[in-house]
Each structure stands twice: as structure tokens, then as C-alpha cells.
Structure 1
Amino acid sequence: MEQRISFVTIATADLEASRRFYVDGLGWEPELHVPGEVVMLTAGERLVLSLWDRAAFEAELGGTTVSGPGLLPFTLSHNVETPALVDEVLRLAAAAGALVGGATDREWGGYTGYFADPDGVRWEVAWNPGPIGLRVVPTTDTTPRG
């Protein structure tokens, strides 16, 4: 597994309030906004901050999340070039002792699975064929360079 993070995903209690904070308040430009579901913002050259509606986030993870003051439900994502690499990284994580959930095709067109590190931090391993997903993978970067 290449040593990098592609997405930081935060499950939000109020997606539109989070969108207003980052876009209207901080002046960040969204790369993708699907009202009621997700807002994606560039956070670095190959890093995306993804704000998800809490219910959609929990549906994809297959369970509820724990939250409270100072404790946010989130995942880190490692995007790869092919669906086969998703399975390979999940096998590697399992061999390292991670709790692994099987990968599945997603309704948005990608293929993802999750594993948890020893502290329970969830990592998504994703093949995302869309422009944002391809941009964060070094060998498939489609961002024009000036």
C-alpha cells in the first residue's frame, strides 16, 4: 500500500451548514456538490475533503457512528488505480491484523471496501473512476498542470 491519504471524509449532522461554513465562510470552492448527499473540496494537491450527510455516510459504512463533543465520525481514504488493487490492499490490511469489510460496487460507480486499524480508525480503500477520484491517484492524475 502506497503511503498516502487521498480523502478525509467527515460525516456531518447538517451538510448544508457545513457547506456554508467551508464555501461561504472560508471561501473554499467545491469540486462537487450533490445537495443532501455530499460536498467535495480540494484540500491539497492530491487530497480531497469530503463532507457527507451523516445518514448517507452510515449507510455506506453499514452501521451507525459514534459522535459527541470533540469526537467526529470520519474515515480516511486510500484511492487506487483499479478494482483489483482495492482487493489487494484489503488483503494486505487483513494480513496485518485489521478488521476488514469486503469490497463492493457502489451506486455512484466505484468499488470500495473498508478496514479498521488497531484503534478502530476506518480506512476506505477505493477505486473511483470519476474525475475527482482519478485526480488523487498519482498515476492517473487528470488535473491540467500549468
Structure 2
Amino acid sequence: MDQRLSLITLAVADLPATRRFYLEGLGWAPSVEAPGVLMLRAGEHLLLSLWDREEFEAEVGPIMTGTGVAPLTLAHNVASNDQVDEVLRLAQAAGASAVSPAQHREWGGYSGYFADPDGFRWEIACAPSEVNDIVLP
């Protein structure tokens, strides 16, 4: 098996609201749209798939529920601290909830977090060069 990811799929409660957030709010473009699913190009060979929760559960199985956050984060790396601040402002203007303001981290980078309409946590980060050299175009 090749060492790579092709899709990251998130089950969402309100696909039209999620669509508005990513397309109109963040300015992303759809790559594939079908009933119950919206796919957005997130890298050269990577799609972010936003799937209606009921349709997700019908195929994958019941979603765990309870308090807390999903045990994952999505990260968007940028080249400077100013860009971190800029993207966090854009996300909040689009309706994202602020989770953690941008700050210098113990691991050597600068990052902050927001939550999308379904509560998925996005980290916006300027990472040390050994990470950014791999993930930035």
C-alpha cells in the first residue's frame, strides 16, 4: 500500500450550511458535488469530503456521540505568522468559532485554532522549516 491519503471525510450535520462556510466564507471551490456530499481539493492529490451525516451513518455506521470534540484536527499551514492571523480572521468572519488565539507554541511554531460549523477543529499554523518544507507548495 502506498504511503498517502486520498480523501479526508467529515460527517456534517447541515451540508448546505457547511457548503456556505467553505465556499462563500473561506472562498474554496468545489471539486465534486453529488447528492449528500461536497468534495473540495485540499492538496495536489487530496480531497476533503464533507458528507451528510445521515448518509455517512448509513454507509459507515453510527457516529459516536457525547461531549467533547472529535479526536482529530485538520491543519492548514502558511508561510508566516501574519498569514496565520489573517486566515484566523477570515474564518471568524465566515462564521467559525474561535477556539484558541494564535500564539507561539512550545514545539517551535505559531498557531491558532477555529471550529467549523460542525465543530471540527482547524489549526492554522506557521511551523518550523522541517515541517513547512514538506507541506507548503
User: TM-score, normalising length from structure 2?
Assistant: 0.50
User: TM-score, normalising length from structure 1?
Assistant: 0.47
